[in-house]
Amino acid sequence: MRTHEELASTYGSPLYVYELDTLRANLADLTAALPARSTVLYSLKANPHARLVRELATHGCGAEVSSLSELRTAVDAGVGERDVLYTGPGKSRAEITAAVRAGSHWFSVDSAPQLDAVRAVADDMAVGLRVLLRVNPDHSTPGSALVMTGVASPFGLDADQILAEPSAFAPTTRCQVVGLHFYLGSGVPDAAALAAQFAASIRTAVTIQRRLGFDWEVLDLGGGFPRSFACSDERPGLAGLREALDDALAAVPGAVRVLFESGRYLVGSAGHLVATVVDVKRSKGRWFAILDSGINHLGGMAGLGRLPRMQPEIIGVGESDEQVSIVGPLCTPLDWWTRSGQLRPQPGALIVVPNTGAYGLTASLVAFLGRDCPGELVLDHGEVVDASVLSYARQPLVPEGLSTTVEETP
């Protein structure tokens, strides 16, 4: 097993380090907590690193993608057409067309106009497309870190709107609704809350399917599986979830394929960020440790309520009686990770931020101030099997081109 010092001296700092052993263990844990007939879709938004996606695909995961870039990563990783679900509101016809060309035949839609757009693309391209209606149900899940439906939302069609006008969802020659999609929110507090959420979604799904009468192939129950972010807190396990789901799914006909979606549960604890203290200074009675990494590499999703309040662990230096602000190198006072660190950092010391495999780099402000992205290492059994760095570059804008295509840019 290579130490952080060895990795940083070979590959530089900062570094994101991902471990395939942990990734496989997380998938095994999640699969064991779900009914035998289910398939897990990996949500690439959590971390689109191609090597991680390939590892999950090799071990049976499908993919939930929300952009052409994510779709291509999933297809390149070997995820089959039947196992890639294209989700997200606001898909233009150009994007849907490009997605079909890139290998997607299966879309989740959030509104009636979105369904019309998929229908139109199916006709224009003379291909058969399958649709899941994303449902915004009447129930929400108290205690979730991020609520997406169950409230007024851009995500999903309100359940009562679907029930009020079933004919709007009838099959057309080349496009048919084959299932329902739920995703209520992220970071559901525990197994009991997840079980209650899924049971309520199943009841809603059965009601909608009966009313619409479509050929039911797929029920995507979404997820919200909890995992700690940027701190080493243990999260509650998923004991009892499988039994609760087996009971609730008894109401659903046997041939329906049941899907779940997960990002953070799979990759969160499989990654950590290693950064270096560049400078230590005192200002008006407070210590500041300035790192080579900040909100451009971790924690830029403040707008989504994901601004981390971390407890970074420092390798090689002890604790201090005084409070230290741990800040990044960006020219903004917003670039801070903690204002109450109990650390005694020295220049050159390494800081490790655990559980940052999900919503780390690509959920951050990587282009702000134009600093380099951290290197990304993938380790298997402690050895480096992949070393790469994400880069972004200005390119000519092609007139009339498909501007929805953005390669490798989060």
Count Cβ neighbours within 10 Å for each residue of 81-115 and write b for 16 or more, e otherwise: eebbbbbbeebeeebbbbbbebbbbbbbbbbeebb
What's the closest the beta carbon of residue 322 comes to ligand PLP, in angstroms? 36
Task: Give strand ranges (E) for 224-318.
Answer: 257-262, 271-283, 286-291, 313-315
From CA 410, how far away is CA 401, in angstroms rounded?
A: 20
Residue with tokens 């090597």: 51
Write the CA distances from 79 to 58, 63, 86, 314, integer angstroms: 8, 7, 13, 38
What's the closest the beta carbon of residue 45 comes to ligand PLP, in angstroms? 6
Residue number with CB closer to ligand PLP (214 or 265) = 265
> Which residues sit at the interface with ligand PLP, rule CB under 6 A?
43, 45-46, 64, 87, 148, 183, 186, 222-223, 225, 261-265, 358
Other C-beta atoms lying within 10 Å of the C-beta of residue 245: 22
What's the closest the beta carbon of residue 321 comes to ligand PLP, in angstroms? 37
Residue number with CB closer to ligand PLP (140 or 338) = 140
Write the CA distances from 117 to 82, 97, 148, 232, 351, integer angstroms: 21, 10, 23, 44, 48
Residue number with CB closer to ligand PLP (169 or 265) = 265
What's the closest the beta carbon of residue 15 comes to ligand PLP, in angstroms? 22
**How would you classify residue 278: left for phi > 0, otherwise alpha for psi between -120 and 50, otherwise beta?**
alpha
Residue number with CB closer to ligand PLP (306 or 371) = 306
Residue number with CB closer to ligand PLP (43 or 355) = 43
232 in Cβ contact with 311 (< 8 Å) = yes
Count Cβ neighbours within 10 Å for each residue of 4-24 and write b for 16 or more, e otherwise: beebbeebebbbbbbbbebbb
162 in Cβ contact with 169 (< 8 Å) = yes
Residue number with CB closer to ligand PLP (51 or 227) = 227
Residue number with CB closer to ligand PLP (50 or 120) = 50
What's the closest the beta carbon of residue 133 comes to ligand PLP, in angstroms? 13
Please give the torsion angle defined by the CA atoms of residues 200, 204, 207 and 210, in that order, rounded to the nearest 10 degrees.
-120
What's the closest the beta carbon of residue 108 comes to ligand PLP, in angstroms? 8
Mutual angle of helices 191-212 and 241-249, in 10-degree steps: 20
Point out the residue whose Cβ comes nearest to ligand PLP. Answer: 263
What's the closest the beta carbon of residue 324 comes to ligand PLP, in angstroms? 31
What's the closest the beta carbon of residue 151 comes to ligand PLP, in angstroms? 14
Residue number with CB closer to ligand PLP (11 or 18) = 18
